[in-house]
Structures are given as C-alpha cells and as structure tokens.
Amino acid sequence: MEVRDLHPWPDTRAEAEAIQDGLRPLLDLDSPGPVRPRTVAGLDVSYAGDGDGTGARLAAAAVVLDAATLRVVEESVAVGTAAFPYIPGLFAFRELPTLVEALRGLRTVPDLLVCDGFGVAHPRRFGLACHVGVLTGLPAIGVGKTAFVGEHATPGPRRGDASPLTDDGEVVGRVLRTQDDVKPVFVSVGHRTGLDDACRIVLELAPDYRLPETTRRADRLSRDALRS
C-alpha cells in the first residue's frame, strides 16, 4: 500500500515538533469515516529488551483483519531500530520509519487503521494515529492502554460504559470499558473518523478481551518477529 513521504525523519526535538506542527493542518477531524469498515488493520511495535535509547531493536507489525469475522486477511512485519530518542509526545518518531516499511509491505488497503497509541489525545494534538493517518490518507484511530494527557471520570463497570477524556477543556477522546470489570482503554480519533464510530468499532473488535483483536494480533506478530 502507498505511504507518502511528506517529511524527512528528524534528528532533534525541534525538528520533530516542527514536523508535527506542519502536518497537523492536514488532519481531517470532520469526516465521519467508515461506518462499517470491511477490513481493519492493527498496528503495533515491540522492542527487544527494555527498548530504551536510540538504536534499540524493534519490530513493527501491520495485521489486516476482516472486520466481520476478525479473521486475518494479510499481515506484514518489518524489523529495524528505534530512529529517535525517547521523548514524551514524540514517541511516534521512534517507530514510524519501521512501521511505514511494514505498511508498504501490505497489498491490501484497509478501510481503517487502529494504532496502539493515541490520536488527538496528545499534548500537540498529533499522536501516532494522526501521523499515520496523514501519511497514508486512511481513516485512523488510536487505542491506548493507559492515559497520556487529560482528565476523566472513571467509567461505569460494564462493557460499553464510557466517560469523556478532556484536556484544557477540550474533549480529546473517550475512556471506554471494553469488558465488564476490566481496565478501560483510551480511544481517540486520528484522521477521517468520528469518536462515536471509533468507540463502536473498538467494541466490535474486542468481543472477548480488553484490547481489540487488531492490537492483539499485531502485538503477537511483532513479538514473534523479534524472537525469530
């Protein structure tokens, strides 16, 4: 699949922040996105060891699922090294070069990208899901395991219960309970998708476990690639 080269990979914090600022106006946060996607791709990255520092070995995986059956349609994995230091808010730059390689290995163009991370629930309103969405032009959402920015009330204990995630008075996502009495996930829009649809799709992708199957399958593939 096509991934556009919209910028060089940065070497410094200032360069990385300038790229985020330059790409943010390209975000489409008004389009409704695919209400019933046929195919959904999960994106995840695993690190060897503790993953600290520039040059840490990593594997990036893209797994395309049939949205109705959750069966694997296609998968692609690439192994590389962390391309940028660990700096909060700029974490995407560590993973994107290898993740782009994995995406380019797909023949299938999915209807939706589901990132293990954040979209606009980000200090600069430009997390990994936003970045991947702009580079590919595809609808994208982020599903984070823990909070990164903002405040929220604890959602109810049942599957589907949710509460707004707000930052500086702005709703940047939703805290969503995907299974009864388990920790919620943090859903945010990345590109060309609405928050209501994003949360509904995440629930459909998580029939049995806390995390959506897209994330679970991509996580497994990336870990296997590192072991091999």
Q: Which residues are annotated as a binding site?
A: 44, 116
Q: Tell me how far apart the alpha carbons of residues 9 and 90 are, in angstroms, rounded to a whole number.
A: 12
Binding-site positions for Mg(2+) read 44, 116
Q: Tell me how far apart the alpha carbons of residues 187 and 91 are, in angstroms, rounded to a whole number.
A: 18
Q: Which residues of 17-31 are buried (b: 16+ CB within 10 A; e: fewer)?
A: bebbeebeeebebee
Which residues face 62 on adjacent strands? Answer: 43, 76
**Identity (one letter) of the amino acid at 70?**
L
Q: Residue 35 corresponds to which tokens in the numbers above? A: 């209400």
Q: Tell me how far apart the alpha carbons of residues 178 and 187 are, in angstroms, rounded to a whole number.
A: 11
Positive or negative CA dihedral for 212, 133, 124, 77?
Answer: positive
For 133, the 3-state DSSP assignment is helix
The total of other beta-carbon atoms located within 10 Å of residue 97's CB is 17
Q: Which among 31, 11, 13, 33 is positioned nearest to 21, based on CA atoms? A: 13
Q: What secondary structure letter does DSSP report for 94?
A: H
**Identity (one letter) of the amino acid at 210?**
R
